[in-house]
Amino acid sequence: MRGSPRHERILERLRRDGRVDVGELAVALDTSEVTIRRDLDALAEQGTLRRVRGGAVSLLMRGEELPFSLREVEAAAAKNRIAAVVASLVRDGEAVVVDSGTSGLAVARALAGRRLTVMPLSLPSATVLSASPSITLLLPGGTTRFGEGSMVGPITESSLAALRFDTLVLTCCGLSPDDGVTAHDLQDAAVKRAARRSSRRTVLVAESVKFSRTALATVCAIEDVDVLVTDEEAPPDVVGRFREAGVDVRVA
């Protein structure tokens, strides 16, 4: 198992239990305790955990999101498949908002090279799209969130309110039929709501791990989503409830 997938499984255990044990992880992940200790040391440098005797404890508050660099490797293959499906749903000539986050970055990469007008809501996505001569790039004003590069604040919301888009590619931190689409950061959630109000169609991207999470701020109800693109690990019963709500579900 390569480092990134192993780190992903360690972080999932930290999310669930708040503490991990070196010996238990070595057995569960079929590797040596030496390797697990190196993994924990690497994750400690990222600021997500604190090493203690025999293991580690989480430094993230309940419901707090992981740093961008770690989320970028979380379910990376699924995000790339989802992004490819999203790109197939977007027609040349459309005006598109690409939401922030690591899933939004994957979509930006999939859209690069297309003939589109795109407003990315993060600096990483703007950097990717700026290298494509066929993209008409619209940049919102606003404040950037440290470590995320996402655009937030009243200037960003005003930029969105002044325009009308064909498609919003919406990302999320949590997703459920009852709680709807949720995000950890209040300002980020406000920008997402503003983007949805300015778009004719909302395409939500959510890898399967998002179905087990609910974040602090509500973005919208599932009935407000036109298309949901997820991966094959998404729970069938929950996906069924989205379809019953009238959402077009695509599985990557």
User: Any idea which fold 71-251 has?
Assistant: Rossmann fold (3.40.50)
String of DSSP letters for 13-54? HHHHHSEEEHHHHHHHTTS-HHHHHHHHHHHHHTTSEEEETT
pLDDT tens digits along 172-222:
999 999 999 999 999 999 999 999 999 999 999 999 988 978 888 999 999
In the prediction, which pLDDT does 3 show? 45
pLDDT tens digits along 19-52:
899 999 999 999 999 999 998 998 888 777 788 8
Bridge partners of residue 242, in order along the sequence? none
Architecture of domain 3-60: Orthogonal Bundle (1.10)
In the prediction, which pLDDT does 2 show? 42
Helix 123-130 and helix 101-111, axial crossing angle in degrees, nearest 10: 10
In the prediction, which pLDDT does 171 show? 97
Q: Do residues 99 and 170 touch, judged by C-beta distance below 8 A?
A: yes
Q: Is the pLDDT of residue 131 over 50?
A: yes
In the prediction, which pLDDT does 147 show? 77
pLDDT tens digits along 64-116:
566 655 555 556 788 999 999 999 999 999 999 999 999 999 999 999 999 99
Could you give the residue range(s) of every CATH 1.10.10.10 domain in the chain? Answer: 3-60
pLDDT band at 17 (very low <50, low <70, confident <90, very high): confident
Q: Residue 71 and residue 43: Cα distance in Å, rounded?
A: 12
Could you give the residue range(s) of every CATH 3.40.50.10470 domain in the chain? Answer: 71-251
In the prediction, which pLDDT does 5 show? 75
Q: Do residues 172 and 182 touch, judged by C-beta distance below 8 A?
A: yes
